[in-house]
Structure 1
Amino acid sequence: MPHRDIESAAARVARDGDGPALVALWAAAGLTRAWNDAAADIAFARGGPASDVLVIERAGRIAASVMVGHDGHRGAVYYVAVDPALRGQGLGRAIMAAAEAWLRARGVWKLNLMVRRGNEGAMGFYAGLGYGEDEVVVMSKRVAPVPHAVAD
């Protein structure tokens, strides 16, 4: 069973039934892509011992989220989202603080994240939180067919 505690009182671990609201939030925030099945990504993250999805609620709705995990060496975040109608209220900072706390609780000391080229707003947000660019190139290769790929 995955470890389900977090230090941030403002955030909680996603629960069964949160999937549709998370997918809607991610779509509203412009994070979804046709080639990724967001619901499958949620299930995959929640099902593993080294990953989870954290959320912040406002007025009974999910207002912010982050998918967080680690590989035993470094942490990573994905699907960092804030409801567009609620931006500018500190929810992005709060959900990132929750992700960092989740990682610290597991002994992870460094967090890596990826930002798509051209997303200057996200780059500025993360820079404001103390993140900087490393001198690395991210390379990837599909080693198996994507189980939930959209047919062409």
Structure 2
Amino acid sequence: MEIRPFRTDDTEAVVALWEASGLTRPWNDPRKDIARKLAVQPELFVVAVDDDRVVGSVMAGYDGHRGWMNYLATAPGSRRLGIGRALVAHVETALQAIGCPKVNLQVRATNREAVAFYERLGYRVDDTIDLGKRLIDD
């Protein structure tokens, strides 16, 4: 398995991966999310590839205060092989290299498996309330 930067020809494979992983929502156009990410810190959008097949992805970013991780996904048939762990380690290292002191992420409260995964990696629930406001309708 290789972790490398996302390339535009990965788009359909990554969207299929996100759909298979239950990460897409009707109000978020994944292709628009990809295009937006490619305009801002594209080096922090990486994929895991095995035999030329995309088996994982993660988007990360740093705003000068906190790092963020989004769209971490591993192909259903490739789970529990360390791909997710390797992707997280990759972006943590990249974020730390640019001076990021802390990384945050969001997980749906009902996704207990994802919460347990992140807790095994040392992540803890912050005592915060997540608020959001849509600025652009997809």
Normalised TM-score (structure 2): 0.94
Per the alignment, residue 17 of structure 1 pairs with 9
Select which of 59, 66, 91 maps to 1:67.
Answer: 59
Name the % identity. Answer: 42
Select which of 105, 119, 131 maps to 1:113.
Answer: 105
Q: Does 1:76 align with 2:68?
A: yes
Count of paired positions:
138
Task: Output the amino acid matched with 2:80.
Answer: G
Task: Select between 123-132 and 104-113 the one with higher mean Cα deviation.
Answer: 104-113
Select which of 71, 88, 92 maps to 1:96.
Answer: 88
Per the alignment, residue 28 of structure 2 pairs with 36
Structure 2: which 5+ runs fail to align? none
Task: Select between 44-53 and 14-23 the one with higher mean Cα deviation.
Answer: 44-53
Taking the aligned partners of 1:72 and 1:50, their CA distance within structure 2 comes to: 16
Per the alignment, residue 4 of structure 1 pairs with none
Taking the aligned partners of 2:42 and 2:132, their CA distance within structure 1 comes to: 21
Normalised TM-score (structure 1): 0.86
1:106 Cα deviation after fit: 1.1
Select which of 131, 137, 140 maps to 2:129.
Answer: 137
**Hey, which of these two has a bigger chunk of helix by percent?**
2
Q: CA RMSD in A?
A: 1.5
User: Larger Rg: 1 or 2?
Assistant: 1
Per the alignment, residue 47 of structure 2 pairs with 55
Structure 1: which 5+ runs fail to align? 1-8
Taking the aligned partners of 1:91 and 1:32, their CA distance within structure 2 comes to: 20
Moved over 2 A (4+): 49-52
